[in-house]
Structure 1
Amino acid sequence: MENSDSRLNGLEHIQELLSSKNLRVCVVGVGRIGLPTALSFAKSGLPTIGVDINADLVTRINSNDYPLKDEPGYDVIFNQVVTNKKFHASTKIEDVVPNSEVILLSLPTPMDKNNIPDYSALKSVGAKLGELLEPGSLVVVESTIEPGFVENELVKIIEDGNKHLVAGKNFSIGVCPETANPGEIMLDFTHLPRLVGAIDEKTTKIIMEIYEYVFPVELIPMPDCKTANAVKLTTNVFRDLNIAFVNQLALLFEKLGIDISVVLDAAKRKYNFQVHYPGPGVGGPCLPVNSYQMLNSAKQFDSNMLSLVKTGREVNESMPDHVIDLIIDGLKDAKKEISSSTILLLGISYKPEVKDIQLTPAEKIVEKLKEHGAKIKIYDPFFKSVNVFDIQTENNIEQALTNVDSIVLVTAHKEFYDLKPSYIASKIQMPVIIDTKRIFDTDDAKKSKLIFRSLGTGKF
């Protein structure tokens, strides 16, 4: 590569590359976050290539088949940049990285079966970067990681792959943690502030210069990588804990005969109350994982540190059990046993309007129902006529409603807001409805004489 030693040697050079649109960008990992990120860079006019080990995904992208049907807005950008050959994907990291000035890492950081963060994807790619990076390259980690992972592990992995590479001397590294909400990435990428941290101030400024060119949002400089990652984890652990708090309130209010929705609606009017809502559990690749990442960081100092976070996890992970209790209680009023009943789950995605079942509480509900011997049906508009959790899902709501004893609303997809309790009552004899997201009209449910359970309200 020509002039590799002079690349990224200052803001003036970056500005020159940006203004001429010759700054070559490689995004490693083009999934839920990585693909919109790559498309954003390509749309800005910078030569951008996506890299992924998923050959089928790469083929879809290069065939102009937009893979994120539930991510609105980026489909238009995708069609523009792929059709105009401004973006493509590859499985060959060895071809792309040496010909890129900037390498963005948007790789998954899941948990293992023991709830320990799994950084194997980042470590594997880091080892390859050690072999492939040209001097002067810039690595930016967007993946959500524990504070200190870059400084304590990733830098060493890269340097060990090439004795001539030294972070801060002939290659740079920093972080810009993604903050996008699946299903709303276009909105978040154009409105939410981003955090930038690096191994030195110069690199932080360079990263900010690049991201200012691509994203019309506030960029907040952090003193280092670990601080930026700590902020990212703090915001999500805050949510996980507050959801756990209202979940516990929901359990209490059911026994007290208090409607939690009335409580929360009034409480949120106070200036310093940030409302969160109860539900059947917390899923997805972020909140549960982020809490365990924080716990993993804490245990190196004290196994009891952040005990509140641990308790919050336990509360949220127990909510599927409470859903089962509500089902059993409702069926008891209908003089039915769960072991001889057919249960319809409405929605299995971990959140509304997203085709994603990562760590969804629906999976635990299915497992518990199987343990009780119940027959299970599933209808989710994003998972029609496919096998999920070893169950063949239904193709439409009318078909799903036939021959069931209980309906459990798990995910509040938009389609379900139009589903009236009175309509359900007309389809099913003596139906039992469990509303874990509180979207059904309770007045309509009462008039329809349903056996109805709503999380945080109790029975009527």
Structure 2
Amino acid sequence: MYDELLRKEAKLAVIGLGYVGLPIALEFAKQLSVIGFDINAGRVEMMRNHQDPSGELDSAAFEGCDIAFTDSLDVLREARFFIVAVPTPIDEHAQPDLKPLLGASSSVGKVLKKGDYVVFESTVYPGCTEEDCIPVMERLSGLNFANGDFKVGYSPERINPGDKEHTLRRIVKVVSGCDEESLDTIAKVYELVVDAGVHRASSIRVAEAAKIIENTQRDVNIALMNELSMIFDRMSINTYEVLEAAGTKWNFLKFSPGLVGGHCIGVDPYYLTYKAKELGYDAKVILSGRTTNDNMGAYIARKTVQMMIKRGKDVAKSRVLVMGATFKENVEDIRNSKVADVIQELKNFSVNVDIVDPHASSDELHHEYGFRLTAPEKVRTDYDAVIVAVSHKPYLEKDEAYFQSITADNAVLVDIKGLYRARPMQELHYWSL
């Protein structure tokens, strides 16, 4: 299979062309013949015109690539090596939502042939590839996995939206296969696009577990920082100053408090706790961390309201500006943005809220969360509080003079990420986590 791909006698397909799938597809297309498959015809048309619907890649990234973008199963059928990179979200009850993954498995199953390879990159709980995805592909293809009719592997994605340093080529890639032959082939294929090399996991389940604990570990550590920030706030101690002091020790882990959103850290732990509960174990530490992080948006909103009340503001008549709506800085991605929780809690107090963001789409925010962005020219000069929720680059240069220009007297500045903690605020009432 590897040699056939190199000679372009066999094609590689990437199913799901979002933040993860498109960069992978384009990297492979610099050396192999690639099919980029997505069920969204509008997105496919944009990519045919060298536009990244996610806004992460510029048109130059498409140049020199041997890739055909399609939403047709007939075209997908031409591939022999399939990489599945679709989202794995959670539902409203924080339970794994496998519909996109099983849908992709179904699409692959309809075009799967003897000798084909399928590699999953979507984040799942250990066992999902073998227990959930393979049976779908067997049923629709009529092939038998146990008899070796097709090979399966798992190589967890490590794409970090907005990060231009830790790119696909620079991050070690974990790979796994259903047997030694598939592991060797899958590893060699990924080595074509990963300069940092690959780590060969002993099994698919080990690779699945490795991925899910990467984000679970970060989630638990950030939850500890968030809890500490709430404790230190009651002591009138600035958490960031504490972390700077503690960080002078060589083995102190440098995490910071904040809103935990996005498609990874705020979602993946639920896949692990779901599987643990299925096996009769309640993952208390992980779920406790999730509860803490999920409640931070409401906590920040309540703290803002308390500060306004202390300064004699009539909450129901107050106006608050929230700066930043994406889940992290300098990206367009609004998936699972916890800024929405801040806004909703403020509205629960009848606060009038305006939102600005230099990257987010107002239409997408309205579709996902029910609110729109305020146009820059409509930003007011009498806000009772400003919440800087996301550390977008344009916000880093703001100073007290700017915030005074958009606020009423006795206003509150809530700096979630501590961007301005080193800058003295004379007129504004400043607070950060």
Query: Which among 407, 419, 430 is matched to residue 439 of structure 1?
Result: 419
**Cα offset, 1:391, TM superposition:** 3.1
**Cα offset, 1:17, TM superposition:** 2.4
Which stretch shows the higher mean deviation, 380-389 or 369-378?
380-389
3-state SS of 1:423 partner: helix
Query: Which among 286, 297, 320 is matched to residue 320 of structure 1?
Result: 297
Greater RCO structure (CA 8 Å; 6+ sep): 1
Query: Which among 31, 34, 37 is matched to residue 48 of structure 1?
Result: 34
Query: Which among 273, 280, 285 is matched to residue 295 of structure 1?
Result: 273
**Cα offset, 1:443, TM superposition:** 3.5
User: Is 1:118 the counterpart of 2:97 in the alignment?
Assistant: yes
Question: Aligned pair in 2 of structure 1 residues 195, 22: CA closer, same or farther (>3 Å)?
Answer: same
Amino acid at match of 2:50: N
Question: Aligned pair in 2 of structure 1 residues 235, 68: CA closer, same or farther (>3 Å)?
Answer: same
**Cα offset, 1:103, TM superposition:** 0.6
Amino acid at match of 1:282: V
* Alpha-carbon distance between aligned partners in 2 of 1:365 and 1:241, rounded to the nearest angstrom: 21
CA contact (8 A) 1:384 1:395 kept: no
CA contact (8 A) 1:66 1:78 kept: no
**Cα offset, 1:56, TM superposition:** 0.8
CA contact (8 A) 1:384 1:394 kept: no
Question: Aligned pair in 2 of structure 1 residues 133, 36: CA closer, same or farther (>3 Å)?
Answer: same
Question: Aligned pair in 2 of structure 1 residues 186, 29: CA closer, same or farther (>3 Å)?
Answer: farther
CA contact (8 A) 1:101 1:138 kept: yes
**Cα offset, 1:307, TM superposition:** 0.4
* TM-score, normalised via structure 1 length: 0.89
In structure 2, the residue matched to 1:257 is 236
In structure 2, the residue matched to 1:330 is 307
Query: Which among 100, 103, 117 is matched to residue 82 of structure 2?
Result: 103
* Alpha-carbon distance between aligned partners in 1 of 2:5 and 2:87, rounded to the nearest angstrom: 29
The percent identity for this pair of structures is 28
Amino acid at match of 2:127: G
**Cα offset, 1:270, TM superposition:** 2.0
Question: Aligned pair in 2 of structure 1 residues 164, 229: CA closer, same or farther (>3 Å)?
Answer: closer
Amino acid at match of 1:353: N
User: Is 1:362 the counterpart of 2:339 in the alignment?
Assistant: yes
**Cα offset, 1:168, TM superposition:** 5.8
* Alpha-carbon distance between aligned partners in 1 of 2:87 and 2:10, rounded to the nearest angstrom: 25
User: Is 1:29 the counterpart of 2:16 in the alignment?
Assistant: yes
Question: Aligned pair in 2 of structure 1 residues 208, 168: CA closer, same or farther (>3 Å)?
Answer: farther
* Alpha-carbon distance between aligned partners in 1 of 2:337 and 2:134, rounded to the nearest angstrom: 33
* Alpha-carbon distance between aligned partners in 2 of 1:385 and 1:110, rounded to the nearest angstrom: 22
CA contact (8 A) 2:35 2:76 kept: no
Query: Which among 204, 207, 210 is matched to residue 186 of structure 2?
Result: 207
**Cα offset, 1:437, TM superposition:** 0.9
Matches within 5 A, 1:38-437: 38-43=25-30, 45-69=31-55, 71-72=56-57, 75-81=59-65, 86-92=66-72, 94-167=73-146, 169-184=148-163, 187-279=166-258, 281-304=259-282, 306-383=283-360, 386=363, 388=366, 389-396=369-376, 399-430=378-409, 431-437=411-417
**Cα offset, 1:50, TM superposition:** 0.8
* Alpha-carbon distance between aligned partners in 1 of 2:200 and 2:362, rounded to the nearest angstrom: 47
3-state SS of 2:296 partner: helix
3-state SS of 2:431 partner: strand
3-state SS of 1:391 partner: coil
Unaligned runs of 5+ in 1: 1-7, 9-13, 456-460
* Alpha-carbon distance between aligned partners in 2 of 1:186 and 1:106, rounded to the nearest angstrom: 21
Number of residue-to-residue matches in the alignment: 429
**Cα offset, 1:185, TM superposition:** 6.1
Cα deviations by residue, 1:41-69 (Å, 9 ceiling, x for unpaired)? 112x2111111111110111112223232
* Alpha-carbon distance between aligned partners in 1 of 2:294 and 2:372, rounded to the nearest angstrom: 25
**Cα offset, 1:184, TM superposition:** 1.7
**Cα offset, 1:303, TM superposition:** 4.3
Question: Aligned pair in 2 of structure 1 residues 296, 385: CA closer, same or farther (>3 Å)?
Answer: closer
Amino acid at match of 2:28: F
**Cα offset, 1:440, TM superposition:** 1.6
**Cα offset, 1:385, TM superposition:** 5.7
**Cα offset, 1:223, TM superposition:** 1.1
* TM-score, normalised via structure 2 length: 0.94
Cα RMSD of the aligned pairs, angstroms, is 1.8
In structure 2, the residue matched to 1:450 is 428
CA contact (8 A) 1:26 1:96 kept: no
Amino acid at match of 2:43: L
CA contact (8 A) 1:181 1:188 kept: yes
